[in-house]
Amino acid sequence: MKKSLCRFLMGCLVWGAACNPAPSPHWTADLAIEGATILTMDPSRALYAPGTLLIKDGAILALGPQDSLAGQYVATRRLQAEGQLVLPGLINTHCHAAMVLFRGLADDLALQDWLQFYIWPAEAEFIDSLSVRVGTQLAMAEMIRGGITTFNDMYFYMDEVARAAKAAGMRAVIAEGLLDFPVPGSPNPEQGLARTRRLLEGYQNDPLITVAVGPHAPYSCSSGLLQQADSLARRWEAPLHIHLSETRTELADIARPYGGLSPPAYLDSLGLLGPRTIGAHGVWLSPADIELLAARQVGISHNPESNMKLASGVAPLVALRQAGVKLGLGTDGAASNNNLDLWQEMNTAAKLQKVHLEDPAAMEAYAILLMATRGGAQLLGLDQQVGSLEVGKRADLQIVDLQGPHAHPIYNLYSQVVYALRAGDVRTVIIDGRLVMEDRQLLTLDEASIFRQVDSLAGHIREKLLAP
């Protein structure tokens, strides 16, 4: 009697266990980042300390306070990030990546001398598909090391840039620079437009590469070329990337032939101002210009270190912000910076406005970091995919050390990011869910090889342009 009762009870237990298995995990992730303080930069300013972030198929599957997610998931790989900071990857909204090849080539000169005697001769002689490939790789190595996960590039041989970016796993918006006169890769603007069309066709729906149309500037393109560029951008719903009101000279150069119009007003007269237009610099903007940009939903890439180094001026950043103009942060080319360090750019942007406006409360730290993340994504039309850490967005993020003396103490994380932390604090970078740098080891770029090629090329440039 007892024996069969036991067996019966045992049977019940087994049956019970089979019908009520341990609850299956809520989430199954490829990668779980654990233990870090997470600054999401989402519209609610959500911050998790500590938090957990789960990545699946390149997107953010879940994120939230560590306690809430504990025990709710399994992950193929767990990345321990205790004591570290997780942020969205930074977005460099205006650069000429391959110009790293000319970093420091000729500084501290008057602008016209710099361009005429160094930059233009260097480009004419040395910019080809190979040097653009290698230069872009060097630039990406630098950018990834500094936590930049998306860059908005305007240069030449952009087919090489696209290929290099995809191989490195970097997100990029690319535009072949269109100008009236011959440039590397395009002896005339029709060639530039043809290159652009091929890129638009080739990279439709590409997960990492967005092709933009890049008429260089209002003063370097005929109105006909500007309109062709605009038509092409409209047909493809592509961003339009253009230098805008960068220098005082540009204002005069446009006003003269175009009946006193400002560069934005002139572009508007041709139909180029719209929600997909990205204006680079926007330094010399009148209140009327700012109103016009806001009305047309044009965005501006603010590039303070370049503006300072070339003595272009100080952009009306606060007024642009107040008018609701989309704003991003850019390094411009390394020949006028001279690095591609968006952390330094953030620090400079905040301080330049404070001293310019005589207001220590201008452009608070959070607003600056917003420009470098979600704001930049909005400017590039990528805010559905990136710019903040939110469920469903692509997993573009950086993990930052808080171990140097300059990281102690911390009272306000946003303040620490903008005024104390540095590019060198970035240890790990993930783009579209893929590790591109881990513990400061680049995983998708061969630095030693890149350095060898760059230094060799620089030797030729030095001989040609700098020999006594």
Residues numbered 366-405 forming contacts with a copy of itself, rule: CB under 8 A: 404-405
* Nearer residue to a copy of itself within complex by CB, 258 or 366: 366
Per CB under 8 A, 468 contacts a copy of itself? no
The size of the interface with a copy of itself (CB under 8 A), counted in residues, is 74
Per CB under 8 A, 245 contacts a copy of itself? no
Q: Which of residues 199-218 bind a copy of itself (CB under 8 A)?
A: none
Q: Which of residues 253-292 bind a copy of itself (CB under 8 A)?
A: none
Q: Which of residues 151-180 bind a copy of itself (CB under 8 A)?
A: none
Output the smallest distance, CB 80 to a copy of itself, in A: 19
Q: Among residues 56, 103, 133, 326, which is the contact residue for a copy of itself, using CB under 8 A? A: 103
Quote the tokens at residue 194.
Answer: 């043809």
Strand segments, DSSP code E, in 166-302 are 171-178, 209-211, 214-215, 240-244, 277-281, 299-302
Whether 182 and 171 have beta carbons less than 8 Å apart is answered as no
Q: Among residues 235, 406, 449, 464, which is the contact residue for a copy of itself, using CB under 8 A? A: 406
Output the smallest distance, CB 209 to a copy of itself, in A: 21
Binding part of the chain for a copy of itself, among 22-30, 46-54, 72-80, 303-311 by CB under 8 A, reads 303-311
Per CB under 8 A, 351 contacts a copy of itself? yes
Q: Among residues 119, 365, 430, 437, which is the contact residue for a copy of itself, using CB under 8 A? A: 365
Q: Among residues 36, 170, 340, 395, which is the contact residue for a copy of itself, using CB under 8 A? A: 340
Q: Which of residues 432-461 bind a copy of itself (CB under 8 A)?
A: 447, 450-451, 454-455, 457-458, 461
Quote the tokens at residue 385.
Answer: 């995919």
| 205: exposed, middle or buried (Cβ count in 10 Å: 0-12, 13-18, 19+) | exposed
Q: Which residues contact 420 (CB under 8 A, 6 or more apart)?
A: 406, 407
Q: Which of residues 55-74 bind a copy of itself (CB under 8 A)?
A: none
Pairing mode of beta strands 214-215, 171-178: parallel
CA distance 82 to 102: 40
Per CB under 8 A, 25 contacts a copy of itself? no
Q: Among residues 35, 422, 438, 443, which is the contact residue for a copy of itself, using CB under 8 A? A: 422
Binding part of the chain for a copy of itself, among 168-176, 254-262, 263-271, 361-369 by CB under 8 A, reads 361-369
Output the smallest distance, CB 442 to a copy of itself, in A: 9
Characterize 163-200 residue by residue with b for buried, 16 or more Cβ atoms within 10 angstroms of its Cβ, and e for exposed: ebbbebbbbbbbbbbbbbeebbbbeebeebbebbbebb
Whether 140 and 164 have beta carbons less than 8 Å apart is answered as yes
Binding part of the chain for a copy of itself, among 9-17, 226-234, 323-331, 363-371 by CB under 8 A, reads 363-371
CA distance 369 to 30: 28
User: Please, how many CA atoms are within 13 Å of residue 79, restricted to the half-sphere of its CB?
Assistant: 28
Characterize 231-243 residue by residue with b for buried, 16 or more Cβ atoms within 10 angstroms of its Cβ, and e for exposed: ebbeebebbbbbb
Per CB under 8 A, 34 contacts a copy of itself? no
Output the smallest distance, CB 242 to a copy of itself, in A: 23
Q: What are phi and psi of 165, to 5 degrees?
A: -65, -45
Q: Among residues 94, 96, 133, 145, which is the contact residue for a copy of itself, using CB under 8 A? A: 145
Per CB under 8 A, 108 contacts a copy of itself? yes
Q: Which of residues 125-144 bind a copy of itself (CB under 8 A)?
A: 138-139, 141-142
Per CB under 8 A, 424 contacts a copy of itself? yes
CA distance 412 to 419: 11
C-alpha dihedral (96, 101, 105, 111), degrees to nearest 10: -20
Per CB under 8 A, 337 contacts a copy of itself? yes
User: Measuring CA to CA, which residue among 338, 331, 455, 341 is closest to residue 103?
Assistant: 338
Q: Which residues contact 70 (CB under 8 A, 6 or more apart)?
A: 52
Q: Which of residues 72-101 bind a copy of itself (CB under 8 A)?
A: 100-101
